[in-house]
């Protein structure tokens, strides 16, 4: 489906869960230059009715009507459970519709490959919604490391945890639940970004204290990743702990601590310490989703290759699967060599003001806090 060079990309939001309601739909107000939401897809008639009126969206569809929806849009934002990403991406690609897919890209490497192939075969763009690839603090940290401010980066450590509500989809194995798929992915991607290299070998331990609401998945996982140039990343994820989300990168001359690091509902910040002197940078809450839309729509309109690409998403899923295999077997798992995707085309540091949390319709956040 063609888009005029100076046109506006018409999106359907597929899935009206928490992330779609609290962040994606409000973000279109900051992405009007090239992006417009024209359709909603859900099997909940109440959500469709209320949200379509709130955002002045004329077209609403059930999941059974997805193919009809694809005839009316240029792109989809897939905000479905992890286990549904592959199917709905492939169907969109076959219809000639571009895909912006929430992370993790999928549950298995094979699913990721099917998604990439379908989009390539049908000549549509595929981008994975790593919002922190567009966020100022994380981009500054990557740049500081690249410029050698902390010397040669040696190790990365991170903690990311929350107390997940009973019954949340993140606790359902068949829906792609588990701490690594939901929050461990952030730690993995951050380590890969700051090192600008790939892990060669991984090890993990997963534990479960017997909490009934987490009996299908890992309650907590500790991971160890050995990178090229003998660098190390360590992180712990948990669905049964107090909220925390930060990382630290330590080099031969100094260190960078990012805290909060992964949030979208509050401002982020970092501390740079070199030779005993610390400088701090913090920004207020920003809209982290509008930059994704603006960038992806420009890639569609100007026929650019988007980044984070499907290959980027596949690599994180490959690492997650290897970590879970290590946790099951008690052995280290070697990873095949991976060549990073091309560096991004187009400007990625895009800033938009924060949005107020809208009134939610039949959804709640994953965390009990």
Q: Which residue numbers are catalytic?
A: 103, 186
Q: 304-307 contacts: CB < 8 A, separation 24 or more?
A: 304/345, 304/346, 305/125, 305/342, 305/345, 306/125, 306/126, 306/127, 306/344, 306/345, 307/127, 307/133, 307/341, 307/342, 307/343, 307/344, 307/345, 307/348
User: CB atoms < 10 A from the CB of 365, how many?
Assistant: 16
Helices (H) and strands (E) in the chain, counts: 11, 15
Which residues make beta-bridge pairs with 333? 202
Closest among 308, 319, 269 to 133, alpha carbons compared: 308
Ordered strands of the 59-61 beta sheet:
59-61, 35-41, 9-14, 75-78, 98-101, 126-128
Q: Write out the DSSP string of 115-178.
A: HHHHHHHTT--EEE--GGGG-HHHHHHHHHHHTTTTSSEEEEEEEEEEEBPTT-GGG-GGGT-S
Residue 276, CA distances (Å) to 36, 73, 148 in order: 49, 55, 16
User: Is residue 247 a contact partner of residue 188, using CB atoms and an 8 Å limit?
Assistant: no
Cα dihedral: 19, 25, 30, 31 (round 10): 100
User: Is residue 287 a contact partner of residue 27, using CB atoms and an 8 Å limit?
Assistant: yes
């Amino acid at each position: 489906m063609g888009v005029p060079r100076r046109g506006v990309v018409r999106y359907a939001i597929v899935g009206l869960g928490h992330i779609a309601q609290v962040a994606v739909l409000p973000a279109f107000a900051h992405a009007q230059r090239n992006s417009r939401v024209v359709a909603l897809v859900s099997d909940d008639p109440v959500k469709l009715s209320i949200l379509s009126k709130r955002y002045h969206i004329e077209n609403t569809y059930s999941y059974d009507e997805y193919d009809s929806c694809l005839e009316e849009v240029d792109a989809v934002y897939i905000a479905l459970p992890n286990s549904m990403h592959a199917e709905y991406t492939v169907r969109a690609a076959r219809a000639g519709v571009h895909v912006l897919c929430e992370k993790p890209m999928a549950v298995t490497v094979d699913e990721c490959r099917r998604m990439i192939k379908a989009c390539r075969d049908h000549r549509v763009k595929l981008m994975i919604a790593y919002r922190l690839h567009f966020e100022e603090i994380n981009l500054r940290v990557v740049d500081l490391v690249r410029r050698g401010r902390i010397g040669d980066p040696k190790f990365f450590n991170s903690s990311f945890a929350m107390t997940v509500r009973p019954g949340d989809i993140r606790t359902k194995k068949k829906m792609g639940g588990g701490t690594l798929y939901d929050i461990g992915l952030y730690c993995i991607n951050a380590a890969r970004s700051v090192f600008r290299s790939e892990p060669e070998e991984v090890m993990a331990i997963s534990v479960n204290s017997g909490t009934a609401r987490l009996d299908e998945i890992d309650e907590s996982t500790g991971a160890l990743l050995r990178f090229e140039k003998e660098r190390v990343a360590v992180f712990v994820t948990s669905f049964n702990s107090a909220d925390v989300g930060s990382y630290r990168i330590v080099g031969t001359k100094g260190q960078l601590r990012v805290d909060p690091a992964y949030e979208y509902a509050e401002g982020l910040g970092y501390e740079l310490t070199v030779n005993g002197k610390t400088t701090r940078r913090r920004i207020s809450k920003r809209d982290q989703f509008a930059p994704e839309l603006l960038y992806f729509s420009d890639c569609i309109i100007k026929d650019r290759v988007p980044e984070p690409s499907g290959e980027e998403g596949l690599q994180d899923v490959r690492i997650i699967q290897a970590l879970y295999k290590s946790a099951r077997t008690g052995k280290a798992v070697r990873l095949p060599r991976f060549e990073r995707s091309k560096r991004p085309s187009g400007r990625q540091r895009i800033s938009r003001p924060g949005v107020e949390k809208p009134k939610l319709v039949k959804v709640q956040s994953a965390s009990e806090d």
